Chain A
């Protein structure tokens, strides 16, 4: 190992609002950093090649795939996972809608679904059902058939837009 190339990386970042300092192997994925190093097991590794969306978390305000992001690239980043989003109440309405509509069965996809949906419900416009389906099309769910998820997001969007939450 040279002075410049490292196989362990020192990182400072903010995770769920808390400052974190740690040293991780250079090949550590964000999802494994969260799950293994920080014990934030709410986010899941489903495919580890960027397709299933189970590892989707929020980095600097945008969704990313935790399995396609090396932790080494996140020096100084602000990261939010389902645990932090729950505690802050940022998606409480969305979570309530998911429970009421039974928009989850096994629950394994749910944290990633919530992260993807969060971005959508924070936009000003209320998209069509097709728009919701399209936006969520990078998150795989084997259990629900998606309709309940679309319904729950639509309900949340309407609620935030001040319309009737059906």
Chain B
């Protein structure tokens, strides 16, 4: 039996409805349980002494003064922890030629970025540990720092890791067709340089871990604010020499993640290692200052790109040279090459063309480590693509909507493989663009823009089409040898009273995993969502899974939940059929009651099934299966990724005297396949858009030439706040994937992927009559003003 999604009046029709999140009621009362809220008996705190140098040799470490403090219990150096913890290398076998050196939980011989942990101080309280950390004296011998991206490979630039001979971590060119010939012969060629600033995630809850080693039980219990508990379980086990079954990772409430909390961090591994040495619970709660230097950074791309078009405005080719600096180590275990790799895959993604070249060069620097962060690579690729498309449109006198209509891949042209090699199942670019034009009343907005321009008001409209990678298969990481699970599982159990517990391998960070899983299981079993209790984030009890990243929770975890729920339903109906002397296929479960499928007549409540199965199993035929707990796993296999698509528009006003940009309104039409909970999808999109708006206007990690971080507080790394953000109109097109019965693709990153490009194009639309354009993010008032020549370049 399949679910008739097209019928909103079908029984148990919870999939597709706005249902409030079960955990929201708890969080709004202040009853969350984040890791820093947890206190354990004998718990101590660790603080880290971090390198003040971008690159330095560690000559000597003096810890006696720190150890003499009454509140300090122990001090550890890199050599101390190297004895209990093996180093790691963030490398994937399928990324040919990739280099990265071994990394330890605490720096051993050299510190390679400002903020790298060097010494760990354990104290009774965080204040005690900090006081001790302030007393540790480290003699550093400064080494030359590499900070610039474009000169990192120059012969005169010092090499950070001598054994490698250069500062190249990874380089790849993705090429198809006759790029050079096409560009030589094309009617129109447009070229531009782009820059996306270095960002960091600024999760409101900083990273935090509480590790507890029980020697007696041989068990490490780790409470941690993380997105991928099973990944962490496996890696902690491996590096600390514990069987995987002896490591229990618990991720309760997580105060925001966005990719920041899907990586292995040296200070967190150090905390677990120290817990193993001390045999007592150790907590590390990052403060905001160390978050800026030790959380992963991202983006930091510089690119030059060109686009070739024929005389009708048809796109013929893209050619992009992308560079990115990733800090001194590739992140573990996902690697820091993936953002660049994504750029080589995603350029030109929405468009029909045959000739393609994109090279990415991933270089080492003495700055914070860059890694996967919400919408990995997408904002970079979309900005380059859409910036080039808009510039070409302007040069050819085409309206931005018209050039897109002429070039977006036709909605009936799927499945297809793009010039960049992406396998696309089914997308809806044209339908989405039509919906956007209608939602924003494009023509009316254009005439408003024109009439205001006559009054000296400079408004601009920017459009950005995009594709988003979701539901990754093992082709993303597993193929390269990383122990990151692309499959996910769900266990569904019916309790005796007919209520249901579902344990899922995907995790909750506020996006609504628990709510959508409850909806899916409720519909699959045939109970109301209120009767479904969801358990996430505990490796001891949930099926092995990948967790939440790359917008996989709904598409992969959701399908596993659907199948597990339906399996329980099947068992319930088999038991009911035996009890009722009926045929199982003539029965259904609706709102917790077994009914006749045809008439809807009530036959028996689930509580009666539960009573018989659990307490009076003797009354059922011997050998009748009555497994009211079922586990199913799901893995995508037809396509390496389920791509989604969408289009955003931004409406801005530029103050030509000050360069200030006011965001007036924002629109997004998005196709994430089957929508499970419209409210939650909308809010994912909105939150993602604002993260992209931050990228466009505010966010930039700044280092000086010596590798010193210049803006490591929330007072000077500017995140988007409510005062400057616009209202956002969200619309949907639904093209379900045929890979799964549920048909859901991901929706978590679309907002972030497209927003920066939309704003860039809007600003440039506004200032084009004044001359100049902006392509280097963030578009600060000063950069905008310099672009229009109101002050010197």
Contacts and interface: CB of A to CB of B under 8 A. Distances in A.
A-B complex is real: yes
Contacts of B202: 140, 142
B268 to A, nearest CB: 19
Contacts of B512: 102, 105
Given A27-B127, A108-B205, A133-B725, A144 B683 contact: yes
A83 interface: yes
Interface stretch (A38-46, A58-66, A71-79, A155-163): A38-46
B714 A140 contact: yes
Contacts of A49: 288, 713-715
Contacts of A52: 204, 288, 714
Contacts of B728: 145, 147
A142 B256 contact: yes
B59 interface: no
Interface string A136-166: 1111111111111110000000000000000
Interface in A76-122: 81-83, 86, 95, 98-100, 102, 104-111, 114
A129 interface: yes
B204 A51 contact: no
Interface stretch (B29-37, B104-112, B413-421, B736-744): B29-37
Interface string B698-721: 000000000000000111000111
B30 A148 contact: no
Nearest to A148: B683
B252 to A, nearest CB: 11
Contacts of A100: 20
B509 A106 contact: yes
How extensive is the interface on chain B, given as a class? 35 or more
A27 B130 CA distance: 13
A107 B28 contact: yes
Interface stretch (B328-336, B357-365, B684-692): B684-692
Given A48-B288, A133-B725, A137-B723, A104 B510 contact: yes
Contact of B24 (A44, A107, A140): A107
Given A49-B288, A145-B687, A99 B20 contact: yes
Contact of B721 (A108, A114, A140): A140
B21 interface: yes
A124 interface: no
Interface string A8-43: 000000000000000001010000000100001111
B253 A136 contact: no
Interface in B1-50: 20-21, 23-25, 27-34, 36-37
Nearest to A98: B28
B205 A133 contact: no
Contacts of B571: none
Given A82-B29, A107-B510, 16 more contacts: A41-B30, A48-B287, A86-B30, A99-B24, A102-B24, A102-B680, A104-B28, A105-B510, A108-B32, A129-B727, A133-B722, A133-B723, A137-B723, A140-B719, A143-B510, A146-B722
Question: 7 closest Cβ contacts across the A-B interface?
Answer: A42-B30, A107-B27, A105-B510, A106-B510, A108-B255, A82-B30, A145-B690
